[in-house]
């Protein structure tokens, strides 16, 4: 089933190290509008702390491709030139709507631009960080090797050139302020609907 084109979708993008994941978990608790996190599908193997069906749907390359061919994705992309595919299933947007909430998608820039094309009412938010912070946070995470870190920093630089395509830009210098700012955005969008 394809969700209606006017379903509310919130897209949050930002380079690795921009603090997206932390912001998302705070928003799920604090947003004035009910948000339902879309669980993406990926061909990347799970990290030790990740759970299938919670963090991602971990799919084999073959299954991902079969579902892509079947038109099950709202968008999908090979992210960070990693060789791994990531995508948002249409059924996730529908699930959010069925649960009476807005779908919250934490996805890369390419995916976000595709979602904006398909759902013109998308509330698109780009989260950035003072540049020196990216590298520090990426390294502090300690889950990636040097080559992966370098590639992610390059991607971050490229992604920053797309900032203007987003309806809202938020700088995550202080977490509380960034979360509050996004909550205010969501509240004003809801009021203007
Ligand atoms: P990670 O492997 O660190 O979990 O995620 C890597 C990147 O994939 C992140 O920048 C994230 O925004 C992006 N990503 C996660 N899910 C999706 C998705 O469904 N679609 C797209 N296009 N990108 C995604």
**pLDDT tens digits along 59-116:** 999 999 999 999 999 999 998 777 999 999 999 999 999 999 999 999 999 999 999 9
The 8-class DSSP code of residue 46 comes to P
The tokens of 189 are what?
């969008």
Instruction: Count other C-beta atoms under 10 Å from residue 193's C-beta.
Output: 9
**pLDDT tens digits along 27-63:** 999 999 999 999 999 999 999 999 999 999 999 999 9
**pLDDT tens digits along 55-73:** 999 999 999 999 999 999 9
In a domain, 29, yes or no: yes
* Residues whose beta carbon lies within 6 Å of some atom of ligand 1: 16, 40, 44, 75, 77, 79, 86-88, 106-108, 110-111
Whether the CB-CB separation of 141 and 22 falls below 8 Å is answered with no
Number of domains comprising the chain: 1
**What distance in angstroms lies between residue 80's CA and the mean position of ligand 1's atoms?**
9
* pLDDT greater at residue 144 or residue 160: 160
In a domain, 193, yes or no: no
Q: What residue numbers bound the domain in which 73 lies? A: 9-187
Whether the CB-CB separation of 88 and 40 falls below 8 Å is answered with yes
Nearest-atom index, ligand 1, CA of 16: 10
Nearest-CA residue for atom 20 of ligand 1: 87
Q: Percent of the chain beyond pLDDT 90?
A: 68
Please determine, for residue 12, whether its predicted confidence score (pLDDT) is greater than 80: yes
pLDDT at 2: 77
Question: Over 84-112, what HEC string results?
Answer: CEEEEEHHHHHHHHHCCCEEEEECCHHHH
In a domain, 3, yes or no: no
CATH number at residue 163: 3.40.50.300
How far from chain centre, in Å, is Cα 71?
Answer: 20
In a domain, 170, yes or no: yes
In a domain, 2, yes or no: no
**pLDDT tens digits along 151-179:** 888 887 888 888 999 999 999 999 999 99
pLDDT at 193: 75
In a domain, 82, yes or no: yes
Nearest-CA residue for atom 21 of ligand 1: 107
In a domain, 91, yes or no: yes
Element holding 171 (H helix, E strand): strand 168-171
In a domain, 138, yes or no: yes
């Amino acid at each position: 089933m394809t969700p209606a084109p006017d379903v509310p979708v919130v897209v949050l993008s930002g380079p690795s190290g921009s603090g997206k994941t932390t912001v998302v978990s705070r928003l799920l608790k604090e947003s004035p509008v009910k948000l339902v996190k879309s669980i993406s599908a990926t061909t990347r193997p799970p990290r030790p702390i990740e759970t299938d069906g919670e963090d991602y749907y971990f799919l084999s390359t073959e299954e991902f491709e079969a579902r892509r061919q079947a038109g099950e994705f709202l968008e999908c992309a090979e992210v960070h030139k990693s060789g791994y595919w990531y995508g948002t299933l249409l059924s996730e947007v529908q699930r959010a709507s069925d649960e009476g909430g807005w779908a919250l998608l934490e996805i890369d820039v390419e995916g976000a631009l595709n979602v904006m094309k398909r759902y013109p009412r998308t509330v698109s938010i780009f989260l950035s960080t003072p540049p020196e912070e990216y590298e520090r946070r990426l390294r502090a995470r300690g889950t990636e090797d040097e080559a992966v870190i370098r590639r992610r920093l390059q991607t971050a630089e490229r992604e920053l050139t797309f900032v203007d395509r987003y309806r809202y830009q938020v700088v995550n210098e202080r977490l509380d302020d960034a979360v509050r700012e996004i909550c205010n955005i969501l509240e004003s969008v809801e009021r203007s609907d």
